[in-house]
A and B are shown apart, each in its own frame.
Chain A
Amino acid sequence: MIGVMFGIWYLAIAIGNKTAGAMGGMINEITAKYSLSTFFLIFTIVPIGIALLAMLLHPLLKKLMHGVR
């Protein structure tokens, strides 16, 4: 179970890193079509959105973890 957990965890980091590269690669495309602000705004809205989602899900996560962490 620990193995599965770490597997999922590192896999998530790997996917995140690849996504970072892929999204970063779009810098010129987005700048040309909209503006550089739009490009950075994506990285403003996405983390804050996820932050809100994480806090909303907190009661559920707490129940699921059964006292760990």
Chain B
Amino acid sequence: MLENSIAASAENNNDFFKNKVLGHPAGLFVLFFTEMWERFSYYGMRALLVLFLISSLEKGGWAWPEENALALYGTYTSLVYLTTIMGGYLADKYLGYRWAVVIGACLMTLGHASMAVETPTFLYIGIGLLIFGNGFFKPNMTSIVSHMYKDHPEKKDGAYTIFYMGVNAGAFLGIMLCGYIGEKVSWSWGFGLAGIFMFFGMLQFYFTQKIFGDIGTKPTAAENLAKENLNDGDKRVPFSTLDIILMIGSLFLGLLWILNDPYSKISGNNLLDFTVAGLAGKNFTILLGLALFLILLVGRITRYSKVTRERLIAVTIFAFFTVFFWASFEQAGGSMTIFAQKYTQRAFTGTAANIYKIVNTLLTVVPLGIITFVLWKLFTQTFKKYAIGNIILATSFVVIWGVVIWMLNREYNAETTEIAASWFGILNSFFIIAFAPLVSKVWESKYNPPAAFKYGIGMTLLGLGFASLAYGASSIVAGDENIKVSMLWLV
């Protein structure tokens, strides 16, 4: 019985690596397209959220103060990452990666649909569904990729590069199309479009999932036991009661603070309306939460063996840096969008408008063309076996081309063009798509710098980007929104 299943799984794996597209198993490209549509909806929605909330009532927005909109946005984007811990755990123990991905994708489709209704209640329900959906989806997609290459570690880097191209291609198209439709046609169509493609991505994944052989199926009790006994070369440190109390305490305080921040601003009711030793209630809460977490972390780290302990310290330092990276990088969907909307000259006529139209066309058609080519390659390999999944994927591409052609046509027929404020977001992902292969070549060569330096270079570039923004903004008289900065500074 056991031998049979092992033989069957070996056969599956062989089959899996037989159907190659661009030197990688076809399954990778199924994940590529699933992830692409997921990121399409995530970034598409994100590009719109802040803009929608702060836009004036006559533009169909809710005229929220920026501070409230960004409080909600920050809470949303941070919870999205917190739930990944939960989603990863549940998938590992009970669901299996595949079901977790399908459940996550379903929740997110519902979330996007709910946001398209555009009433406050549905907006919050939508955001909640997106947060939980992402928690199931995101970590487990990556897990499937890494399991797929378990026996082929030499190909793993290449696989991740391809996978992240999917991520960026999705982000790029999502920001461009959802942003355009949301700002220029209607907000709910923009949010809805995000949901539609999430749904396509999910169906495609669901109907093609057999291609992964036995990767990511439900874990059995025996497998869980095997994992427990797996010795990773270090003694295990079980959680003590104190650990668990600290963990729950810091989690509770952290969540309370994260949720109270937008809640108190939007509704005017502060849940944490008290002072402790001169500290405002909300500050006291988050500081206490962080303190509990630090005690937990230090307590755990000191109980590991020397090597593991030092590695964990290094990871903690890197994690500390990461906080700053994201705090700056995530300005893209928040304050930078606000900057673009309020302070930049985006309306064009004549030659400048034509240049924009041509740039916009090239930026849209070229990447989409390349992705469609990859899609074709995948079909030639998998159509016989996975016709339904392929047809769904093909339909999603027909729709996306339709939307693109409609958008370009609409732009060419317009006399004056006003560039959508969300448009600038796409340049970011476009540069990543364009430069990623180059950068990864440099990393592979003998000039490969160590991780801390790579990180340093990245952060310096990020800082320089903001420096040019600061320079661009310096010509604005504080508070005077009539003088609009040339949009060049955003690029």
Interfacial residues, chain A to chain B (CB-CB below 8 A): 1-29, 31-32, 34-41, 43-48, 50-55, 57-58, 61-66, 68-69
CB-CB under 8 A from A14, the residues of chain B are 78-82
- B463's partner among A28, A44, A63 (CB-CB below 8 A) is A44
Which stretch from B332-340, B359-367, B431-439 is at the chain A interface? B332-340
CB-CB under 8 A from B70, the residues of chain A are 21-22, 24-25, 27
B470 within 8 A of A: yes
Query: Once the chains are docked, how many angstroms separate the CA of A41 from the CA of B464?
Result: 10
Query: Once the chains are docked, how many angstroms separate the CA of A14 from the CA of B316?
Result: 14
- A31's partner among B65, B334, B458, B479 (CB-CB below 8 A) is B479
Q: Is the CB of B323 within 8 A of A54?
A: no
Ordered by A's residue number, 28 sampled pairs between the chains whose C-beta atoms are within 8 Å are A8-B297, A9-B315, A10-B82, A16-B322, A18-B261, A19-B326, A19-B327, A20-B329, A20-B330, A23-B327, A24-B73, A25-B71, A25-B74, A27-B338, A28-B66, A29-B67, A31-B478, A37-B474, A41-B467, A47-B328, A51-B457, A51-B458, A51-B460, A53-B321, A54-B455, A55-B456, A62-B452, A66-B307
- A11's partner among B82, B300, B339, B470 (CB-CB below 8 A) is B82
- B324's partner among A24, A26, A29, A47 (CB-CB below 8 A) is A47
Query: Once the chains are docked, how many angstroms separate the CA of A18 from the CA of B232?
Result: 34
- B232's partner among A2, A50, A51, A58 (CB-CB below 8 A) is A2
Q: Is the CB of A13 within 8 A of B81?
A: yes
Query: Once the chains are docked, how many angstroms separate the CA of A43 from the CA of B146?
Result: 34
CB-CB under 8 A from B335, the residues of chain A are 23-24, 27, 39
B459 within 8 A of A: yes
Of listed B232, B458, B460, residue having the most chain A CB within 10 A: B460
Q: Number of contact residues on B: which range applies?
A: 35 or more
Of listed A21, A37, A45, residue having the most chain B CB within 10 A: A21
For residue B256, give the distance in angstroms from its CB to the closest CB of chain A. 13
CB-CB under 8 A from A57, the residues of chain B are 317, 452
Interfacial residues, chain B to chain A (CB-CB below 8 A): 65-68, 70-75, 77-82, 84-85, 88-89, 232, 234, 258, 261, 293, 297, 300, 304, 307-308, 310-331, 334-335, 338-339, 343, 450-453, 455-460, 462-464, 466-467, 469-471, 473-474, 476, 478-479
Q: Is the CB of A44 within 8 A of B308?
A: no
For residue A48, give the distance in angstroms from its CB to the closest CB of chain B. 4
CB-CB under 8 A from B334, the residues of chain A are 20-21, 24-25
CB-CB under 8 A from A53, the residues of chain B are 321
Q: Is the CB of A1 within 8 A of B234?
A: yes
Q: Is the CB of A6 within 8 A of B85?
A: yes
- A12's partner among B323, B338, B467 (CB-CB below 8 A) is B323
- Additional pairs, 16, CB under 8 Å, beyond known A38-B470, A66-B310: A13-B323, A15-B323, A16-B323, A17-B74, A18-B78, A19-B326, A20-B327, A26-B67, A28-B67, A32-B479, A37-B476, A39-B470, A40-B470, A43-B328, A57-B452, A61-B314
For residue B300, give the distance in angstroms from its CB to the closest CB of chain A. 6
For residue B212, give the distance in angstroms from its CB to the closest CB of chain A. 22
- A8's partner among B78, B307, B316, B324 (CB-CB below 8 A) is B316
Query: Once the chains are docked, how many angstroms separate the CA of A52 from the CA of B455?
Result: 10
A58 (CB) vs chain B CBs: closest residue: B452
Q: Is the CB of B459 within 8 A of A12?
A: no
For residue B296, give the distance in angstroms from its CB to the closest CB of chain A. 10
- A21's partner among B78, B452, B476 (CB-CB below 8 A) is B78
Q: Is the CB of B474 within 8 A of A62?
A: no
Query: Once the chains are docked, how many angstroms separate the CA of A8 from the CA of B323?
Result: 11
Q: Is the CB of B459 within 8 A of A51?
A: yes
Query: Once the chains are docked, how many angstroms separate the CA of A17 from the CA of B366?
Result: 32
For residue B455, give the distance in angstroms from its CB to the closest CB of chain A. 5
CB-CB under 8 A from A27, the residues of chain B are 66, 70, 335, 338-339
CB-CB under 8 A from A62, the residues of chain B are 450, 452
Query: Once the chains are docked, how many angstroms separate the CA of A66 from the CA of B314?
Result: 10
Q: Is the CB of B326 within 8 A of A20?
A: yes
Query: Once the chains are docked, how many angstroms separate the CA of A39 from the CA of B261?
Result: 21
- Contact of A40 with B75 at beta-carbon distance under 8 Å, contacts A14-B82, A20-B326 already known: no
For residue A53, give the distance in angstroms from its CB to the closest CB of chain B. 8
Query: Once the chains are docked, how many angstroms separate the CA of A21 from the CA of B68?
Result: 9
CB-CB under 8 A from A46, the residues of chain B are 324, 327-328, 463
Q: Is the CB of A22 within 8 A of B323?
A: no
- Contact of A20 with B338 at beta-carbon distance under 8 Å, contacts A50-B321, A55-B453 already known: no
B320 (CB) vs chain A CBs: closest residue: A12
A13 (CB) vs chain B CBs: closest residue: B81
Query: Once the chains are docked, how many angstroms separate the CA of A42 from the CA of B436?
Result: 27
CB-CB under 8 A from B313, the residues of chain A are 64
- Contact of A37 with B74 at beta-carbon distance under 8 Å, contacts A51-B455, A66-B310 already known: no
Q: Is the CB of B314 within 8 A of A64?
A: yes
- Contact of A48 with B459 at beta-carbon distance under 8 Å, contacts A16-B327, A36-B339, A64-B310 already known: yes
